[in-house]
Amino acid sequence: MDVFRKKDVNEILKYSSPLKRTLRTWDLTFLGIGAIIGTGIFVLTGRGALTAGPALSLSFLIAAICCGFAGLCYAEFASMAPVSGSAYTYSYIAFGEIIAFIIGWDLILEYALGAATVSVGWSGYFVNLLQNLGIHIPTVLTAAAGTTPGVTTFFNLPAFLIVLLITWIISIGITQTKRVNDSMVIVKLAVIILFIVCTIWFIKPHNWVPFSPYGLYSFHGGSAAGIIPAASIVFFSFIGFDSVSSSAEETINPSKTLPRGILGSLLISTVLYIIMTLIMTGVVKYTVFARFLDAPILAVLHSTGQTWLSIIVSVGAILGMTTVILVQLYGQSRITYSMSRDGLFPRFFGSVNPKYQTPFKGTWFFGIVTAIAGGLINLNILSELVNIGTLTAFVLVSAGILWMRHSHPELHRGFRAPGVPVTPIIAILFCLVLIAGLNWETWVRFIVWFAIGMVIYFAYAKRHSKLNPSNSDGSASAKKGAD
């Protein structure tokens, strides 16, 4: 079937990218940290602690292991096919066009809704910081309609503006994007280390008892609780590390630097997450976070009397979530750029600005859409929808490594995932466990998104694909059917 036509890796490697190569290992590691550390520490720890208790640290570890095994598979693919597109491109090589389109469509969901969701959290910290400084934004402009019961709100202006600002930074060049991200990540890490140093002395071990009040998986208060459901929640914290692989065409020596950046950022972020959750649940009883869901770190500072740290932490949270938004919007623009280049999206999204050497038009299109979503939509329920799309991508990338090792053992790999076939199989199993921890409403929303994507594929993408034999520039590289 022609919907399963595949890209030829050798044809891909011949492609000369118009994007500017400037990223090194250090930049990629910071790009990954910028994507990972933010919402997880500054927002999701409260909800996660209420779901798993002090065992939230184990939930983070499970989510990190899942991402770590998937990250090894991403690293091998990145070294084998160092081009933009991340899981979308890898699926195109391994499984064919329709699977690639599904994953690309999922990644659009991941990055756009992920960035919009984080922008809302960013807005909450920003408004709180301004209030501490005596500056007040009208309440009606601080959240989407219906966000808080009994409070009249119409539009989240701070969330809207931050997305537009970051979109502008990304659109004017990768060098500017890199410098902004690197600077903010350094400040963010300094704030986190300061928090650890100042609060570790206030740990009361009895707050860790019972360590796992809800076990591995149970029901509490009418909803799922325990280590696995909490892992499904905090998995959102790790979303974005895969966007590092989207930078392949802007990376110097990508076959070596991409694997280092992916795995290095995951390792550093996981260590910090576990330390932070142990400290937070050790300083205060996990039930206290019910009153601090939007800013759980402030519960710790209130308990220790270190109110002087709250402004510094708020700045760190704002910068932390800014880098998350930046990396997700960056990944979004590169995915749609790759899909446009392959003919699956209109040329508009693949147009590279000769001055800035970026997909300028596509970057602004999705930046504006994401900004409007952050301003108008109540996104409290959408983080799990982002999770299921990402987990699906992880499953296919991991399965892709199994298939490529079998079908193309001759291909050069600058990095080889250790322990294949065990490593990708473990990654797939972990992903399926986390997917099982999501509620049924998430599945329904995901199926609706999938159906919309299929309509677009058969109505537009299939006919305009560069691998469609009727398109003269793509017929030579078409590789139909299963290998």
Give me 152's structure tokens.
């009249």
Q: Over the stretch 136-188, which tens digit does the pLDDT of each residue have? A: 888 888 887 776 667 788 889 999 999 999 999 999 887 878 888 888 889 88
Residue ranges with strand state E in 173-222: 218-220
Mean pLDDT of the chain: 84
- In CATH terms, 21-467 corresponds, of 1.20.1740.10, 3.30.70.600, 3.20.20.70, 3.40.50.620, to 1.20.1740.10
- DSSP states of 407-469: H-TTS--SS--TTTTHHHHHHHHHHHHHHHTS-HHHHHHHHHHHHHHHHHIIIIIHHH-TTST
Q: How confident is the model at residue 474, as a pLDDT?
A: 44
- Rounded to 5, what percent of the chain is helix, strand, coil? 70, 0, 25
Q: How far apart are CA 159 and CA 163, in angstroms?
A: 6
Q: How far apart are CA 430 and CA 236, in angstroms?
A: 15
Query: CB burial class (10 A; 0-12, 13-18, 19+) of residue 236?
Result: buried
Phi then psi for residue 6, to 5 deg, are -115, 160
Domain ranges of the chain: 21-467
Indicate the SS3 state at residue 482.
Answer: coil
Q: Are 38 and 206 in contact (CB under 8 A)?
A: no
Phi then psi for residue 355, to 5 deg, are -80, -50
Q: Over the stretch 355-366, which tens digit does the pLDDT of each residue have? A: 888 899 999 999
Stretch 26-30: mean pLDDT, rounded? 88
Q: Over the stretch 187-227, which tens digit does the pLDDT of each residue have? A: 889 999 999 999 999 999 999 999 999 998 888 776 788 99
Q: Are 466 and 343 in contact (CB under 8 A)?
A: yes
Q: Are 360 and 351 in contact (CB under 8 A)?
A: yes
Q: Over the stretch 174-188, which tens digit does the pLDDT of each residue have? A: 787 888 888 888 988
Q: Is the pLDDT of residue 255 over 70?
A: yes
Give me 395's structure tokens.
């499953």
Indicate the SS3 state at residue 142.
Answer: strand
Classify residue 82 by its DSSP letter: -
Q: How far apart are CA 212 and CA 209, in angstroms?
A: 8
**Residue 181 CB-half CA count within 13 A:** 33
Residue ranges with strand state E in 337-477: none
pTM of the model: 0.82
The alpha carbon of 97 is separated from its chain's Cα centroid by a whole number of angstroms, namely: 23
